[in-house]
Structure 1
Amino acid sequence: MKQARYGRRGPVPQELIEAVPFEAPPLAAGQVLVEVLAAPINPSDLLTLTGDYGILPPLPAVGGNEGVGRVAQVGRDVADLAVGQTVLLPIGSGTWATHLVADARALMPLPDGADPKQLSMLTVNPPTARLLLSEFVDLEPGAWVIQNAANSAVGGYLVQLAKARGLHTVNVVRRQSALASVLAFGGDLTLVDGDDLAARVREITDGATIALGIDAVGGPATERLAQALSPGGTIVTYGAMSGEPCTVSPASLIFRGISLRGFWLAQWFKTASPQTRAALFGELVTLIATDRLHAQIQATYGIDQIREAVAAASMGERSGKIVLLPNGE
């Protein structure tokens, strides 16, 4: 058994982590041993390694916030899970490992036969995209949404979920080479970001009303979204890929009534009822298991390649997600 562990934080995440042997503790009552099938590397994982995320585990720590596994052994008093069953791992449980021990009550059974790589990305990005579309502005079929970083994992899920709801998307990227991937997911309109973004958006949408803008970049890109929105529109920011604070001009706030909101999935988890969380994940599991919702994967790595995997995930220009397969294909 191995796990990807780190004992310090710093600016170069791949230099901080390494695969080390470990021995799983004996199972207590209500616990199970899970063989990890797949675990993605998310921006939040990288920020946790550098020390820039909102929640930081005590050190030393095992990397990985989400993933999917197969039950390998059950402890006493476990009645609802069986050996061989596919399960969603608890968020923040250190999923970059060949195996982990978890409370059986914290594991969500998943359909057998679905792609574990796609299921491994269920916990963070799909619910973020789904909630960004539903929690801030009431959108009827036919409405328009604009987002930047549209080629990101959240952006790809958002395009697919918006299309399923009959919504139209304007998808903004930061480089020409990223346009094709957004179109492949079904994005209606795609543009490369720039100072004249608002004028180009009005032209290609024929001046359509756009009430919701979704920002993952920050800095001046937030103001460019604000200018592309209709008066009274709302920007929701969920990331800062530029590393800069969101910039919105007084003119947008005062004269055009633009609102700026923030979204953090961890906070939603704290306030949502168990029934609400179950309903959301039930919806998303069905979509992923039936291949109606998916993410592009650029490359997969084994546990002994964790440094190469983290380095690949840190690269700015990627064509998809980096996924760790701790026990191989």
Structure 2
Amino acid sequence: MTQMLKAQYSERGPVPQAVIQAVPFERPVLQPGQALVAVLAAPINPSDVLMLTGQYGQLPPLPAVGGSEGVGRVVELGPDTQGPSMGQTVLLPVGIGTWATHVVAPAARLVPLPNEADPRQLAMLTVNPPTASLLLSDFADLQPGDWVIQNGANSGVGSYVVQLAKLRGLKTINLVRRESAVAGVLAQGGDVVLVDGEGLSERVKAATGGAAIKLGIDAVGGQATMRMAAALAESATIVNYGALSGEPCIVTPRELVFRDVTLKGFWLARWFRVTPQAEQFKLLGELAGLIAAGKLHTPIQAGYEVAQIQEAVAAAAAGERQGKILITPTHG
């Protein structure tokens, strides 16, 4: 077996790649109920980077191993332990610290996944696809043919919003912050792609023929929230799930009071905390099926070994990317 490594950090700081490093560890002795899993792929999400800088809403105690989601292959079960069979591809529990060659996990919490599916795509199952699905389903009564507007459309969540909306018969207006991102979102299936900025509501109206837009999905905050609100129909809802601008959401009294626009927030970690496990597994199973069938996917820019964690985090934190950065350990 190859050397076991984990990407660990003992402090937080403004330069995320500077606080994390790959450290070796010995093959663990499993206890009853535990499984040893060889990690196949684990993404670096924006929330993971914010945990390194200390800016995320929920921070693990230090020292910590990076990585909030991923998939692996079962290589050993503890004594008297029932669980997925050896060699089975499994979804790792949320927040277990997946930037490692191997992890020890409770066998009962491992979710079997299709062995024939691309593990790199399955590795992103836990965070972005359910976020996109719930944003589309839980905040507005949308019917086939309805329009949805989102910003951060070239992000991981944005990509899944486009694809799931199309599968559900919805149309998407997709806002990006640079002209170079337009082509990629169109290739993903976005119906309308616009560069966010001045005159947005007029440009949206022209692109949709004045359609009433009942749902806005906001990943940016600040003035972007206000521009989105102005493009929505009366009594519509904006749901915010991020603050890429680093600024609080701004919505004017005109939108809130006179046009009855509602602003809500969504945090997937809370959804996992309050939702029954059976309902969680049902949603994850549906999304895994779509990924295995090739109906859901996201662009991948590069994969890195655990030993390259600093380079990988720097690449993930960079502004100009054409896809996701993954940790993809090689197993001999």
If the TM-score is normalised by the length of the shorter chain, which range does it land in?
Answer: over 0.9
For residues 84 and 211 of structure 2, the distance between their equivalents in structure 1, rounded to whole angstroms, comes to 51
The answer as to 2:7 corresponding to 1:28 is no
Aligned positions, number: 329
* Matching residue within 155, 160, 164 for 1:157: 160
1:297 corresponds to: 300
**Which residue number in structure 1 is paired with residue 311 of structure 2?**
308
Deviating above 3 A after TM superposition, structure 1's stretches of 4 or more consecutive aligned residues are none
1:259 paired residue number: 262
Residues of 1 paired with 2:91 and 2:271: CA distance? 19
Please give the root-mean-square deviation of Cα atoms over the aligned residues, in Å. Answer: 1.0
2:146 aligns to what? 143
Q: 1:239 aligns with which of 237, 242, 245?
A: 242
Q: Is the 8 A contact 1:234 1:259 kept in 2?
A: yes
Which structure 1 residue ranges, 5 or more long, are not aligned?
Answer: none
Does the 8 Å CA contact 1:198/1:227 hold for their aligned counterparts?
yes
1:14 paired with 2:17, answer: yes
- 1:174-189 aligned at under 5 Å gives the runs 174-189=177-192
Structure 2 counterpart of 1:112: 115
The structure 2 residue matched to 1:274, chosen from 272, 277, 284, is 277
Aligned-pair distance for 1:24?
3.5
CA distance in 1, matches of 2:140, 2:298: 25
Equivalent in the alignment of 1:63: 66
Sequence identity percentage: 63
Q: Post-superposition shift, 1:275? A: 2.0
Does the CA-based 8 Å contact 1:69-1:88 persist in structure 2?
Answer: yes
CA displacement at 1:83 relative to structure 2: 1.2
TM-score using structure 2 length: 0.98
Q: Any conservation in 2 of the 1:211–1:229 contact (CA below 8 Å)?
A: yes
**When the two structures are superposed, what TM-score results if normalisation uses the length of structure 1?**
0.98
* 1:78 Cα deviation after fit: 2.1
CA contact (8 A) 1:24 1:101 kept: no
Distance 1:317 1:232 in 2: 36
Whether the 8 Å contact between 1:302 and 1:325 is mirrored in structure 2 is: yes
Letter of the structure 2 residue corresponding to residue 229 of structure 1? L
Determine the C-alpha separation between the residues in 1 that align with 2:277 and 2:25.
34
Task: Decide whether the 8 Å contact of 1:302 with 1:328 is kept in 2.
Answer: no
Residues 30 and 328 of structure 1, relative CA distance in 2, 3 Å threshold: closer
Q: Which residue of 1 aligns with 2:78?
A: 75
Q: Please state how far the C-alpha of 1:168 moved relative to its aligned partner.
A: 0.4
